[in-house]
């Protein structure tokens, strides 16, 4: 199982200066050169960051959008089962970490430290031993130190996990929550008891797929394809409607006006008057392949809500 990267806040200048001093002291006491450690610290100054403009890094923080509107709003887009990468195999202090980092090296679950072989090895290194740059506390640069070992630590040099690469590729694309519409809807006027309700959502690859992406590491490339299997509408009264696609927009002058939706509707309508809050959830399947392996990552995205007001049908008799 794999992980998605978490954002880390930028480290203040005082902390970086402290790291430099600590490294200088450590190097004075041990053979590894200061330049290697300082270079690693500089490379990691900003911490592990998500790709620029990425909406779905680790927490999958999509905007559900304004109910019934086209502008994004606040709120959480929702997660699918493994969306947060919580089943990753490398963890420290309850946090999931990448098992390999190009700047820090390989992670050891037992110690909570990253190990990177120092290159070149300092002169005078004892035969059969090697110097490593060790960053503990899950990759905290304030703990960076040299360490002389007889053998590589557990997990060192392991090949990349293909599912970890798949999740890295997934973090580079945006699976947006559906932007929903209904007819009737409260902002346009009430509907009537027993009459059909139409539902539809914004089309586009980021809302329904397909989306493709890939990621490579140490000679392995994993590719994925993300598509929506279904969209499930919560009608606000305990009932749900499942549709295969985004649905058809209602047109007052269209051929289906006053009739049930051809592909996504609450055909029997609401049996009672009231105001109902409707929402929709898209169920994504992310299929990945690479390294003689394949798998699927389930994801969901949930919209904001749209209000539907239903009035009683009035019958006039003479």
Structural domain boundaries in the chain: 1-46+90-160, 50-82+162-318
Name 297's bridge partners.
Answer: 286
For residue 61, pLDDT over 80 is answered with: no
Task: Provide the pLDDT for residue 42.
Answer: 44
Pairing of strands 113-117, 145-149: unpaired
Tokens 């053998």, residue? Answer: 151
Dihedral angle sign, alpha carbons of residues 22, 24, 30, 31: positive
Distance between CA atoms of residues 246 and 11, nearest Å: 44
Distance of CA 256 to the CA centre of its chain: 39
Distance between CA atoms of residues 147 and 161, nearest Å: 27
Task: Provide the pLDDT for residue 20.
Answer: 39
For residue 6, pLDDT over 90 is answered with: no
Question: Is the pLDDT higher at 188 or at 309?
Answer: 309
Per-residue b or e along 127-164, where b marks 16 or more CB atoms closer than 10 Å to that residue's CB: eeeebbbbbbebbbbebbbbbeeeeebebbeeebbbbb
Task: Provide the pLDDT for residue 200.
Answer: 98
Give the CA distances from residue 295 to residues 1, 161, 162, 225, 230, in Å, rounded to whole numbers and listed in that order.
10, 12, 9, 11, 19
pLDDT in tens, 120-166: 999 999 999 999 999 999 999 899 999 999 998 887 877 778 998 99
Range with lowest mean pLDDT among 12-21, 162-171, 189-198, 223-232: 12-21
- What distance, in Å, lies between the first and last C-alpha atoms of the chain? 71
pLDDT in tens, 106-116: 999 889 999 99
Pairing of strands 306-311, 191-192: parallel
Name which CATH class applies to 50-82+162-318.
mainly beta
Task: Provide the pLDDT for residue 157.
Answer: 79
């Amino acid at each position: 199982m794999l992980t998605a990267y978490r954002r880390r806040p930028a480290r203040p200048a005082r902390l970086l200066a402290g790291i430099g001093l600590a490294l200088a002291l450590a190097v004075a006491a041990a053979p590894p050169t200061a330049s290697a450690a300082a270079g690693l610290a500089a490379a990691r100054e900003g911490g592990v960051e998500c790709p620029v403009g990425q909406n779905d890094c680790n927490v999958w923080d999509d905007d559900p959008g304004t109910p019934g509107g086209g502008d994004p709003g606040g709120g959480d887009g929702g997660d699918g089962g493994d969306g947060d990468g919580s089943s990753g195999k490398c963890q420290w202090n309850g946090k999931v970490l990448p098992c390999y980092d190009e700047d820090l090296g390989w992670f050891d679950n037992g110690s909570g430290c990253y190990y990177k072989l120092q290159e070149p090895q300092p002169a005078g290194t004892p035969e059969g031993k090697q110097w490593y740059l060790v960053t503990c506390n899950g990759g905290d640069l304030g703990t960076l130190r040299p360490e002389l070992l007889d053998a590589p630590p557990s997990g060192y040099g392991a090949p990349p996990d293909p599912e970890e690469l798949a999740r890295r590729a997934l973090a580079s694309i945006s699976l947006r929550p559906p932007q929903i519409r209904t007819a009737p809807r409260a902002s346009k006027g009430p509907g009537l008891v027993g009459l059909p309700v139409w539902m539809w959502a914004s089309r586009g690859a980021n809302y329904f797929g397909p989306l493709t992406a890939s990621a490579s590491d140490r000679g392995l490339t994993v590719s994925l394809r993300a598509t929506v299997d279904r969209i499930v509408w919560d009608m606000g009264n305990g009932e749900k409607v499942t549709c295969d696609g985004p649905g058809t927009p209602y047109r007052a002058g269209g051929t289906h006006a006053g009739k049930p939706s051809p592909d996504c509707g609450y055909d029997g309508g609401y049996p009672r008057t009231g105001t109902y809050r409707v929402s929709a959830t898209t169920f994504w399947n992310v299929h990945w392949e690479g390294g003689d392996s394949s798998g699927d990552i389930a994801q969901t995205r949930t919209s904001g809500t749209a209000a539907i007001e239903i009035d009683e049908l009035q019958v006039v008799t003479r």
